[in-house]
A = this chain, B = another copy of it.
Amino acid sequence: MSVNLKKLAEMLGLSQTTVSRALNGYPEVNAETRQRVLSAVRETGYRPNRAAQRLATGRAGSIGLVMPIAQGIDSDVHFGEFLAGLGEEAVRHDFHFVLNPSAPEDEEQTFKRLAASGNVDALFLAYVRANDPRIAMLKSLSIPFVVHGRTIDQATDYPFLDIDNTGAFYEATRLLIQLGHRRIGLINGHGHLTFAIRRKKGMVRALDENGLAFDEALSHNSLMTDEYGYRAMERFLANPEPPTAVLCSSTVMALGAVRAINRANLTIGKDISIIAHDDVLPMLKPENFMVPLTTTRSSLRAAGARVASRLISRISQPSDAVEQELWRTELIVRASTGPAPGRK
């Protein structure tokens, strides 16, 4: 059995109160006493029991997140990358996560349970859908939270961090149109997720402004993996009027799309242009593609770190301010975009 406060106090001939205060940096403790306590801690390897601490203070030093997972559901690299960002920041404040795996259909329940459990000080929500009931629920929970992304049809009167998805794909599409492209495909994430909806919106807007129509036959929605990227592109290329350019919602999907293009013996940047959204995944850099990829960029990891930081500061100094951030993305032109074929 390891040492606890009581024993430690006995050993030192002090009361638990004093020892506790010495450890938690209260000013009313004699400097010398504090030193004695600290060195005793070092000798015995004493660590406060977090559960007890939590019960006593009500604070947990942890951030709760729901991890969407179930048998048969593929893991998402993007989730991992975001987590890395959260972690990077949390480690600096000695916070940890309570990762609650949950089947997607139980998520709402899981959130409730997590909040009520007293296990976490704050919650974090991702994979936002257009009209997401989980947000109303979070608001009712009286525990700080930050949403990554934001709803569409609903009032956005809650703290969030989102990137300007509409703007990103608007700019990207505009660039393609300027380059003379008229038929542009879209390989997107799941259609019920708001980032996907907004990206499409941005694209549609740019098309509209130029008198072009969005062609549903050149549109794909799915989990963002290499494989779906490949299949989507393959399908596009089989179209009687194949696109001369394609927008991809992730470099992971772009990977598959590129493969399909190569297999069709087309040249990227010449026969067909491609722009992908780059979440800055370390394992897959756009500049390292055979033909370096033009991208709209925004670091997912940085977003994670920022969310963690906001959550943590919100915990230490509760406030009702509804912080909202909308990050711009960068449009970085590399070799995968070029003038539409038969033009120049």
Contacts and interface: CB of A to CB of B under 8 A. Distances in A.
> Which bracket fits the contact residues of A?
35 or more
Given A226-B288, A259-B288, A259-B289, A99 B118 contact: no
Interface string A74-105: 11010111011011101100001111111100
Given A80-B81, A98-B98, 11 more contacts: A50-B118, A51-B52, A51-B55, A51-B60, A67-B83, A69-B87, A70-B91, A71-B88, A87-B99, A97-B98, A227-B288
Which among A2, A54, A96, A259 has the greatest number of chain B C-beta atoms within 10 A?
A96
A47 B113 contact: yes
Contact of A285 (B51, B69, B83, B227): B227
**Copies of this chain held together in the complex:** 2
A49 interface: yes
The 3 closest A-B pairs by CB, nearest first: A80-B80, A75-B84, A87-B101
Contacts of A224: 283
A230 B88 CA distance: 27
A60 B117 CA distance: 12
A50 B58 CA distance: 11
A36 to B, nearest CB: 21
A12 to B, nearest CB: 19
Interface of A: 2, 45, 47-52, 54-55, 60, 62, 67, 69-71, 74-75, 77, 79-81, 83-84, 86-88, 90-91, 96-103, 112-113, 116-119, 224-227, 230, 252, 255-256, 259, 262-263, 282-285, 288-290, 301
Nearest to A300: B75
B55 A70 contact: no
A74 B289 contact: no
Contacts of A100: 96-97
Nearest to A252: B283
A91 B73 CA distance: 13
A259 B70 CA distance: 34
Contacts of A87: 67, 69, 99, 101
19 contacts: A45-B112, A47-B112, A47-B116, A49-B118, A50-B118, A50-B119, A51-B52, A69-B84, A77-B283, A80-B83, A83-B99, A87-B99, A91-B103, A96-B99, A97-B97, A97-B101, A99-B99, A230-B288, A259-B288
